[in-house]
Structure 1
């Protein structure tokens, strides 16, 4: 079997997966009103494991900002093993399970653990409507998110986008318009990200990889860090951008790739961190809405566009390039990104 024959087209197919999610969501307005739009809940808790937990972080951040109500993101295991330490008692809670397969043991155990509790309600999002998650609670379903490869790529993008679009439908027309506009921009980002990542990997040798992000991009930084680690087996780390300066920056030296997911909200602060890492000898890659004089110091800059959009709406546009980076690093190292060692598509306990 040819290495990468599953993963490469799945990364390349995510623009179509986003469009399908948008169309499918139009028929699930009742779900939006009953769950995301229901003001009866004191808090919405998004849960997932691995990549799905990182999705949950982006979803919760978007919900807090756009809806203006309390939301949090937790690993699934925190709910069934440490629920009272994780969520305050005697509050009305909506628990949102996030799972590509809908079969993750920890998500299922978490939802099962609260089903008899009077003040807890559940729902979810998945790519498989006939899965355990899809049949045990009401779910949004990303119709083209299904994948054959082990690592999550288009499923991550489409599920994150679909939940953000559901939040936007309750938040108002302006937010909904932003999410719709992503559909016209995303295919170009996928195409350009492929060639950009291939050249970046071919032309450089890195021995350390650091991903930085804040706000809505913190969970994404963790996710793209994981993608590189899963596909290529290289050691890599992720941090909140300004937090990286408080000790971890000691690892930076020549041969280190520092990749910064640049927000518009904190752009000036984030770019100061990137400049500092450049001075320590790092190769600095900026993924940003638009380049400018303030990004001229960087070794590489990838523009995603959509500068007029909010950081939250633009989030999924940061994924293709950095998924491709993991893919081409794996290919250069002679390993198969389709079937990473020690990993399975569904994790059970």
Structure 2
């Protein structure tokens, strides 16, 4: 590919611009915070079901976990197809629900149909979150979240994932009335930009290692959704073998495939630092190369890894997913370039999945 691919690539430009999008989205959401608090309050006692497809499902996993951590409201993350095919396993008569469909375009067939089914057959209200507030999904929903977003032209989702995740964090902060979280949210874009500038070279270095054939991403809690999305980005952009697991589940069978051709990325969280450190040591002994993402000096103390990304330690598990994700996107991008693959045109994929159903 052209040596100037970074300047030409839509995907690259959309990865590195996303922090500007966060600022614009937060500014708009903050201006409507009283209204947002008012419309969410009646649903405080319901189970919030976050749902989507592909990247948006992994967004649902991370967003649901973070929203529950912030608010204490019970959350679930469900693929939209499950609502279409096994709705009775999602919506039972003993509970009340709010469905939160997530979609970059707001036109993904399963997500739109799932929201329609939830409302029509189970009388579940919907709160749509999309980068396109005029989409069918948003317009048809009982509630919708609106924020400015420069449309992505690349097939793969990058800034749309993080911007929608940040919007959910903002909603959680409003319901929880956490001023500390609000202060951190205002700083997250600038800090993320600094982290990207500091570690992009490392992502390029790792991606250039031609001995690597398999990529594994591990995380717990909200970081499990981030691990899943990191693996998907590696698959989509670079057509590489990439898998993801809950961190400690990797011991229970999958680690039998770890060898010197495997890069294992461990996304540490505060409650799992001790477990993650031991896991890194054990997997390194199997010959795998280890990349660790950690929060601050304390979070990475004693970690044995080939590569270490250390983000500022005062953001914690609520905001570290926002700091980790852009670098994981860059890792996938640089791997694609190393393999002479155009990440703007992933094989067999389109920006929106529409089905005749």
Q: Which residue of 2 aligns with 1:144?
A: 149
Query: 1:39 Cα deviation (Å)?
Result: 4.2
Match 1:97 to one of 101, 113, 122: 101
SS of 1:265's equivalent in the other structure is: helix
Q: TM-score, normalised by structure 2?
A: 0.92
The number of residues matched between the two structures is 348
Query: 1:308 Cα deviation (Å)?
Result: 2.1
* Equivalent-residue separation in structure 2 for 1:35 and 1:71 (angstroms): 18
Matches within 5 A, 1:221-300: 221-291=227-297, 294-300=301-307
Deviations 1:102-121 (A, max 9, x none): 11101100111122357411
Q: Which segments of 5 or more consecutive residues in structure 1 lack a partner in the other structure?
A: none
Q: Which residue of 2 aligns with 1:74?
A: 78
* Equivalent-residue separation in structure 2 for 1:190 and 1:38 (angstroms): 39
| 1:31–1:336 distance in 2 versus 1, CA, 3 Å | farther
Q: Which segments of 5 or more consecutive residues in structure 2 lack a partner in the other structure?
A: none
* Equivalent-residue separation in structure 1 for 2:40 and 2:302 (angstroms): 38
Q: Which residue of 2 aligns with 1:133?
A: 137
Match 1:336 to one of 333, 339, 342: 342
| Higher mean C-alpha displacement, 113-122 vs 10-19 | 113-122
Q: Which residue of 1 aligns with 2:173?
A: 168
RMSD, aligned CA: 1.9
| 1:231–1:145 distance in 2 versus 1, CA, 3 Å | same
1:309 aligns with 2:315: yes
* Equivalent-residue separation in structure 2 for 1:89 and 1:195 (angstroms): 53
Deviations 1:140-194 (A, max 9, x none): 2342252000001111111101111111121122322232232331111222232
* Equivalent-residue separation in structure 1 for 2:234 and 2:147 (angstroms): 24
Contact 1:182 1:313 in 2 (8 A): yes
Normalized per residue, the structure richer in helix is 2
| Higher mean C-alpha displacement, 266-275 vs 38-47 | 38-47
SS of 2:30's equivalent in the other structure is: helix
Contact 2:50 2:100 in 1 (8 A): yes
Q: Which residue of 1 aligns with 2:207?
A: 201
1:56 aligns with 2:73: no
* Equivalent-residue separation in structure 2 for 1:126 and 1:108 (angstroms): 11
Q: TM-score, normalised by structure 1?
A: 0.94
* Equivalent-residue separation in structure 1 for 2:40 and 2:231 (angstroms): 29
SS of 2:99's equivalent in the other structure is: strand
Deviations 1:76-98 (A, max 9, x none): 11112211112322422110010
* Equivalent-residue separation in structure 2 for 1:227 and 1:14 (angstroms): 16
Query: 1:199 Cα deviation (Å)?
Result: 2.0
Q: Which residue of 1 aligns with 2:193?
A: 187
Contact 1:291 1:301 in 2 (8 A): no
